[in-house]
Structure 1
Amino acid sequence: MGEVIELRAGEFLARVDRTGAGLRALAWRDRDIVWPYGDEGPRAFQGQVLAPWPNRVGEGVYRFAGTEYRLEVNDAATGTAIHGLVHDREWSVEEVSDDAATLRLDFGGAPGFPFPLELVLAYRLGGDGLTLTAEARNTGDTPAPFGLGFHPYLTLGEPLSVLAERGDLTLEVTAGTRLPVDDRLLPAGDPVPVEDGRLDFRTPGRQLGDTVLDTAFTSLERDGDGRAWVRVGGPEHRVSVWCDRSFDWLQVFSSDTLGGSDRRAYLAAEPMTCPANALASGTDLIVLPPGGATRHTFGITAEALPRP
């Protein structure tokens, strides 16, 4: 693995990996609030930057500007190309301070995605947690398709399954609709309301229980700062992911398909600019003209909960 950058501010500590610009670790009051990884590298895309597309592309095939492209299928179970092309690249370090780091990748394109991009990712740690701002610029001479996501797994220090069995695990997702999917986790129709359903997590304090999630939520409901939220609460504290208006989707994954002790141990809360198969469907796909750029911000925070 590549060089690790350590950031500190207030009660938070973060470790950032030059390989993939991934979030290796994030701790608050000396406890992990994301599932960390070490020199062995990430599992299940933990902490990774998902670009130039998040989620899946069916059969790895899409058409753009009249040309068909074929990506490498890297998820054999579903026959899809998953989570982009930058998680194993070495990013350069542009700036580092005690509480901030900026990394850059000049992505020259790849088989199935011949569109060069400049990617810049800024990590900032403060008293309110971690903020990540990503910028992408088309450095080619033709339009480029683009989508972005991030893949942090939230943890409360004990497996979700244990907390849920005790009735100590709550989930809030500020979203009004969800995307139906087929058995390959590709879209199977338009978004449907979550209202009054088992996947309606808009009410604070709702127990997760035994609900299984690998679900893309949209129609995001935002606070006064324009932020949509996923909040995971335990008996003592809460860990949350927020995203700005540039993200219209939140994928929430309860880790049920992971193996061994990782099964149902963490909750991935993934801000995405577009849903699965967006390269093929065009749904919320960003098209960058030559020289065009896009900017996206999300964050992770933690807070103590009042004792009952």
Structure 2
Amino acid sequence: MHENRTGRQLALRHRDQNAVVVELGAALRHYTVGGRPVIDGFAPDDRITGGRGQILVPWPNRIADGRYRWDGRDRRLALTEPANGNAIHGLLRWTSWRIVEARDDRAVLDTPLWPQPGYPFHLRVRAEYTLGDDGLAVAVTARNLGSDTAPYGFGQHPYLTAGTATVDDALLTVPARTRLRTDARGLPVADEPVAGTPYDFRDPRPIGSQRLDTPFGGLERDARGRAAVRLAHPSGAWGTDVWLGEGVENVQLYTGDTLPEGERRRAIAIEPMSCPPDAFRSGTGLVALAPGEEHTVRWGITPWQG
């Protein structure tokens, strides 16, 4: 019997919405509304490239040289981005997650994160995906099962499409007051205001030829405590909001310029993060997860039509 390379496929449906979550890494593979693609995902047997839809824990983005110091001890992680000498995107992308619940409109998966070289802490991570009238809601909770306080951060890596051949013509709105300038390795250099710079997307405008692999902060939130990054069709008649709720302090935008040929600038990754890049070293936004404690992040995708 054929087994998909990304494991079991959990299909979610609500009215005209369809989504698929896979067993491999609890990744979001597919999401459409009325047959229109909302994300640029992957096929069940594809090798996942560019982190598409993947959950990034216990850290998002990069750790320089894979080295950090925690509780008075030096730690060293494998360099999973060897070209730049970084440890990237956590430890659970390529593991099989246990299916806890599978309903028409909801999927819940979890997995242990066992103590290992460079990260000798014991967590359990739970991912909940729910389709409803407002779109797709995601909640990811980590619980510390060990006896030591653990450093922890979260990210996720969906690629959004506005139905254009490239992202150049899509209209982007980012309610962020600051961006984190990074070096050639993708590591933070300085936090800078976006006002008066090409990184100011607080008012909607086309992405154009601008290359983004950029963390943003200083998120402006509504009365519910949510910030929303909006990607819209050039007509402005329809699009998608990626809302950033509890636990999301930064968002990374990536136009895919370094992806394999044929995938570049086809969609834009809008990545909720609980902390900026290199937080294990800087401590900025890093969660100190005490034994028995939990940390939850909530974000979601709301398609709309004007």
TM-score normalized by the length of structure 1: 0.94
CA contact (8 A) 1:146 1:285 kept: yes
| Aligned residue number for residue 160 of structure 1 | 166
| Aligned residue number for residue 63 of structure 2 | 57
**Cα distance in structure 2, aligned partners of 1:159 and 1:151:** 20
**Cα distance in structure 2, aligned partners of 1:20 and 1:88:** 5
| Aligned residue number for residue 121 of structure 2 | 115
Residue 9 of structure 1 deviates from its aligned partner by 0.4
Equivalent position amino acid for 1:297 in 2: R
**Cα distance in structure 1, aligned partners of 2:81 and 2:151:** 21
**Cα distance in structure 2, aligned partners of 1:16 and 1:245:** 22
Structure 1: gaps (5+ residues): none
Equivalent position amino acid for 1:237 in 2: W
**Cα distance in structure 2, aligned partners of 1:77 and 1:239:** 34
Q: Output one character per residue of 1:249-274: Cα deviation in whole Å (capped at 9) or x when no partner.
A: 00001111112111111100000001
Equivalent position amino acid for 1:30 in 2: G
SS in 2 for 1:232: strand
CA contact (8 A) 1:102 1:120 kept: yes
Q: Output one character per residue of 1:15-56: Cα deviation in whole Å (capped at 9) or x when no partner.
A: 000110000111111121111112123111000000000000
SS in 1 for 2:25: coil
| Aligned residue number for residue 209 of structure 1 | 208
Is residue 26 of structure 2 the alignment partner of residue 25 of structure 1?
Answer: no
Aligned 1:230-245 pairs, distance under 5 A: 230-234=229-233, 235=235, 236-245=237-246
**1:75 aligns with one of 64, 81, 102:** 81
Q: Output one character per residue of 1:51-76: Cα deviation in whole Å (capped at 9) or x when no partner.
A: 00000000111110011111111112
CA contact (8 A) 2:162 2:170 kept: no
Equivalent position amino acid for 1:188 in 2: V
**Cα distance in structure 1, aligned partners of 2:27 and 2:287:** 23
**Cα distance in structure 1, aligned partners of 2:17 and 2:172:** 22
Structure 2: gaps (5+ residues): 1-5
CA contact (8 A) 1:139 1:291 kept: yes
SS in 2 for 1:135: strand
Identity of aligned residues (%): 40
May I ask how many residue pairs the two structures share in their alignment? 298
Aligned 1:150-299 pairs, distance under 5 A: 150-161=156-167, 164=168, 168-189=169-190, 191-203=191-203, 205-234=204-233, 235=235, 236-299=237-300
Runs of 4+ in structure 1 deviating by more than 4 angstroms, as ranges, are none
- Of 50-59 and 152-161, the range deviating more from structure 2: 152-161
Residue 160 of structure 1 deviates from its aligned partner by 2.2
Q: Output one character per residue of 1:68-123: Cα deviation in whole Å (capped at 9) or x when no partner.
A: 11111111221101000001111111111110011111111222111110101110
SS in 2 for 1:264: coil
TM-score normalized by the length of structure 2: 0.95
**2:17 aligns with one of 12, 15, 22:** 12
| Aligned residue number for residue 8 of structure 2 | 3
**1:134 aligns with one of 122, 127, 140:** 140
CA contact (8 A) 1:12 1:127 kept: no
Residue 245 of structure 1 deviates from its aligned partner by 3.6
CA contact (8 A) 1:11 1:127 kept: no
- Of 110-119 and 54-63, the range deviating more from structure 2: 110-119
**Cα distance in structure 2, aligned partners of 1:128 and 1:245:** 17
Equivalent position amino acid for 2:214 in 1: T
**Cα distance in structure 1, aligned partners of 2:239 and 2:59:** 29
Residue 230 of structure 1 deviates from its aligned partner by 1.1
Residue 238 of structure 1 deviates from its aligned partner by 0.6
**Cα gap change, 1:159 to 1:76, in 2 (>3 Å):** farther
